[in-house]
Chains A and B, each alone.
Chain A
Amino acid sequence: MQTIVLGLIAGVIYALIAVGITLVYKCSRVLNFAQAEIGTLALYWTWWLSGDHHLPWAVGALASIVFAVAVGLLFERFFIRPIATAPRVTLAVATIGLLALLASVEAALFIGSIKQLPNPINAGGFTVAGVVVGPSQMLALVVVAAVALALGAFLRFTDFGLGVLASADDPVAAQLMGVSRAKVSAFTWGVAGALSAIAALLNEPTVGALAPGVFAGLFIGGLTAALVGGLSSLPGAFAGGILVGLIEAEIKAHLVFASMPDLQYVAMLLMVLLVLLVRPQGVLGRAAA
């Protein structure tokens, strides 16, 4: 049971990354490999403000989110919009460039030092039937649920949100209906940046430290979740995140060998290959007519 709770928490966090990847992919055809890294680098602001300068956690968190949104917007404006019509492969490679840039900046600035962040929340937490749910874990569940509902409602019930969904179907036609392509593109990247920072903030208490490379799980878990979800629907991405989180937790708990460490990566590879071969449209996807 404790494993399932751990897996669920990791899963909803992966889901946030996966939703960001899927939203951007659907609306601007860009598979964003840097999705998790944007938030990871942004997290150093929380460390600097809240850890190093002892400001409240929320201030640091807000700074991280603002930074991540800014990275998303700037990258979209200067590197994606000029090549909006390029092939998908080219667009994906541009985000690999962003991933490489953010990761190498992180490495150049912070390699060899492990940063500690304050806890986001101290009170709360409870034990149900022997399962411990810590305060940060509660926070993760609540925040993710709130973010998912708000995003879903915005897309479905506002004119601009519908415009975003229309753009996902056909960007040129949406533009011809008066929906600003630039605004839609900026919106999706801004949201993706915010989701990335929130995911990193919620992930940090589980990892317990911040240093180059320690958030690799977020990068891999998020990408895998997006893929398992089929890269086409936001609920699918969500389901993919939870599935990946649960499986990963089970493996970390039960399949540990000294002669062959870190089997969860092998397991994720197998899972992706399996999904790709059996349900290429994703766990919740419908077969294309």
Chain B
Amino acid sequence: MRAIVGSARRANIATALLLLVVLPPLTSHAMPKLVEQHNWLLLDRGIAAAVAAMSLNLLLGYAGQISLGHAGLLGVGAFTAGNLITRMHLPMLLATAVAIVVSAAIALVIGVPALRLRGLYLAIATVLFALAMQYSVFPSHAVSSGSAGVAVPRLLWGHSYLTDNAVFASICFVLFIGAWVIDDNIVRTRVGRAFRVIKENEAVAQSFGVDVVRYKLMAFVVSGAMAGLAGAMYGQTIGHVDSATFDLMSWSLPLVIMVIVGGMGHRLAVVIAAFFFMILPDALGSLHAISPIIGSALLMMTIARHPEGMADLLTIRRRPAAVSDDDDASVPALPDLPLPPASLRSGVVPQPRGNNALLEVENVTVRFGGLTAVDHASLEVPAGQIVGLIGPNGAGKSTLFNAVSGLVRTESGIVRFRGEPIQDLRSDQRARLGIARSFQQVGLAMDLSVRDNLLLAQHQLASYGDTAAVLMLPGVAERESELRQRADVAIEALGFADAADKPVKFMSGGQQRIVEIACLLLTAPDLVMLDEPSAGMAPGVAENLAARLRELRDALGRTVLLIEHNVPLVMDTCDYVYVLDAGRIIASGTPAEITADQRVVEAYFGAAPDAPPPVARRTRKTVGAPS
């Protein structure tokens, strides 16, 4: 499926995996004394724990959602499998499959509050879920015989049971590989990037057009499915489960320990940590009671001293290419904001229906409590023009932007995009229609690299389904490499090649702003909304921005709505300007008309000597008296 280059390596990996699958039963049969059944059992438990840890890693390590409810999800898997096998005589593999589906469904239900909430609130809900499961549901007569629990026999078919722990290890290992491959596919595609940006900042995720609800639920469902698999495996390993099997102390907390000590988001390290902590109590012998103390102490040490976890020891540290400390004193090249990709340059100029306006705001009012932030504002942004929105601080400009991009609800009024009302759509839906915006506070995923941010910006251009991505269907990989190429070209043009893989948070505020604008320009959406893009930009970069905006309009026929206090920039680029004051549009016109409007001068430019716009600017000697 992937490139041919990797095929030899893949063949080797496949051979190694096959050996790992075949060896346990062979060893067990040929040399039964070599490894005792007890140790095979330990291996089975280790594999189940590894899958459980991968499940939490997906949720916590990738998507950043803390779950202390995984004990409950594992229990759902084990109790489902147990009941299906003992009461309905389903074969164990079929029962496992059903357990996976049931756990995924339950995870979906606890994931639903995630729709409305950010991060930590959900963690508390998952604790309650685990306790409700442990104390009320698992001991209930519906799923077990009270505190006696339920048996989970390894029923192969009919009346034949699997007793050899080594053969069972092979089966578990095959299932484990399946989970591993799915996890790997997620990481490599837009699904994994969506998870990571959600982990970092949900508002940013939405502005990139990532459907936060959908991906959070997806993380829960996939994690729940893996937990169900792990639970069913564990149940079959030990043969009998009761409500005490899956409690916070024995599963939820140890899983967090495995993921953190291994290293959040580092699958291999998490799997190794899972085996380690599963085997630790046995290795300690009579001291097994201190095993959880060791685990939690390691967790605390890891978080405070070594946040990357054990994974740090596994990866060969790629030293960043030495930042050239001996730069010559010549003026560094200014960053060049990227051009939209070639494939979009041939794009047809968007043809709005009916009239020529791409965006129409009609009588929109936004209120916060008693405060009217936007008061019956109307404006029209014609396709292929740059329209400015200026006004004093607190006039409601950003709120109007939020109303157009869907971050606040309008109380009344209509927002039309290409003639269609959009005021009832979610912000990510509006983003997918072709509306993109920047924020006053930089809207980037700060922990992700410049490259990842540029890839994320192209989320909607990644034209493959998420299911296809999880299964790595043909075409997904090709599409991915195209996106990467585009990001690389943009990085080169910005002059950020040295810093491409550095987290954005290590860049200066102005550089972050440049990356954010680059993300917007890269996708060339039909409507680009910029909220004070030049704030914090060096003068030279602001000039570069002005040139790019004109190019976006002239060469690509894109439309721009611009909030900006940099008066020369507004006057130079805008075709038309609206002035907002106290939530109302008080004037509109060409830049020249606006600068001549006495109301605007009073409300915005101020009567000070140097403040008026460049057309009228001369160095005057009068000293203004600011009001």
A interface with B by C-beta (< 8 Å):
31, 33, 78-80, 82-83, 86-90, 92-94, 96-101, 103-105, 107-108, 216, 220, 223-224, 226-227, 231, 259-263, 265-266, 268-269, 272-273, 276-277, 280, 286-287, 289
Are A100 and B113 CB-contacts (below 8 A) given A92-B123, A261-B139?
no
The one of B66, B136, B249, B307 in contact with A265, judged by C-beta atoms closer than 8 angstroms, is B136
- In whole Å, how far is A286's beta carbon from the nearest beta carbon of chain B? 8
- B127 and A90 within 8 A (CB): no
- B413 an interface residue at 8 Å Cβ cutoff? no
Contacts A89-B64, A100-B296: A223 and B124 contacting too (C-beta < 8 A)? yes
Question: A62: shortest Cβ distance to chain B, in Å?
Answer: 27
Q: Check B249–A103 contact: CB distance below 8 A.
A: yes
Q: Is the CB of A261 within 8 A of B292?
A: no
Q: Are B253 and A100 in contact (CB under 8 A)?
A: yes
CB pair A265 B303 closer than 8 Å? no
Show 17 residue pairs from A and B whose CB-CB distance is below 8 angstroms, ordered by the A residue. Answer: A31-B120, A79-B303, A82-B304, A93-B66, A93-B256, A96-B66, A97-B256, A101-B297, A103-B253, A107-B289, A108-B292, A224-B124, A224-B128, A231-B120, A261-B135, A277-B116, A289-B368
How far does the alpha carbon of A94 sit from the alpha carbon of B309 in the complex, in Å? 13
Q: Are B125 and A276 in contact (CB under 8 A)?
A: yes
User: Which A residues are CB-close (under 8 A) to B166?
Assistant: none
B291-311 contacts to A, CB under 8 A, are: 292-293, 295-297, 299-300, 303-305, 307
Q: Is B141 an interface residue (CB 8 A)?
A: yes
CA distance A98 to B260 in the complex (A): 13
Instruction: Enumerate chain B residues within 8 angstroms of A94, measured Cβ to Cβ.
Output: 299-300, 303-304
Interface string of B298-331 (1 = CB under 8 A from A): 0110011101000000000000000000000000
* C-alpha gap A108/B297 in the complex (Å): 14
Chain B positions near chain A (C-beta within 8 angstroms)? 60, 64, 66, 68, 112-113, 116-117, 119-121, 123-125, 127-129, 131-132, 135-137, 139-142, 199-200, 249, 253-254, 256-257, 260, 289-290, 292-293, 295-297, 299-300, 303-305, 307, 368-369, 371, 447
Bound state CA distance, A87 and B68, in angstroms? 18
Counting from the closest, the 10 A-B pairs by CB-CB distance are A100-B296, A104-B292, A97-B299, A101-B296, A262-B135, A97-B300, A269-B128, A260-B140, A265-B132, A94-B303
Contacts of A89 in B (CB 8 A): 60, 64, 66, 119-120, 199
A262 CB contacts on chain B under 8 angstroms: 135-136
Chain B hits for A268, CB < 8 A: 128, 132
Of the candidates B256, B292, B307, B368, the one whose C-beta lies within 8 Å of that of A96 is B256
Smallest CB separation, B75 vs chain A (Å)? 14
Q: Provide the bound-state CA to CA distance between A227 and B128, in Å.
A: 12
Minimal beta-carbon separation of A243 from chain B (angstroms) = 15
A79 touches B127 (CB 8 A): no
A105 to B60 Cα, complex, angstroms: 26
Can you name 13 extra interface pairs (CB under 8 A) apart from A80-B304, A88-B120, A231-B120?
A78-B304, A87-B64, A87-B200, A94-B299, A94-B300, A94-B304, A105-B293, A262-B136, A265-B132, A266-B137, A268-B128, A269-B128, A269-B131
Which residue from A78, A82, A263, A280 sits with its C-beta under 8 Å from B136?
A: A263
Complex alpha-carbon distance, A90 and B447, angstroms: 13
The main secondary structure of chain A at its interface with chain B is helix
**Listed residue (A83, A88, A227) with the most chain B CB atoms within 10 angstroms of its CB:** A227
Query: In the assembled complex, how far is the CB of residue B68 from the closest CB belonging to chain A, in whole angstroms?
Result: 7
A246 to B142, CA, bound (A): 29
Asked if A280 meets B121 with Cβ closer than 8 Å, knowing A79-B304, A96-B253, A100-B295, the reply is yes
**Interchain CA distance A266-B371 in the complex, whole Å:** 40
- Known A79-B304, A269-B128, A289-B371; contact A104-B249, beta-carbon cutoff 8 A: yes
The one of B121, B199, B296 that contacts A276, using a Cβ cutoff of 8 Å: B121
Whole-angstrom CA separation of A51 from B260 in the bound complex: 39
Chain B residue, CB-CB nearest to A86 = B307
CA distance A82 to B293 in the complex (A): 22
Nearest residue in B to A271 (C-beta to C-beta)?
B128
Q: Which of B117, B127, B132, B307 contacts A280 (CB 8 A)?
A: B117
In the bound complex, how far is the Cα of B124 from the Cα of A227, in angstroms?
8
> For residue A99, which residues in chain B have a CB less than 8 angstroms away from its CB?
253, 296
Contact check: which of A82, A100, A107 meets B257 at CB < 8 Å? A100
A220 touches B299 (CB 8 A): no
Chain A residues with CB under 8 A of B289: 107-108
Bound Cα distance A289, B125 (Å): 26
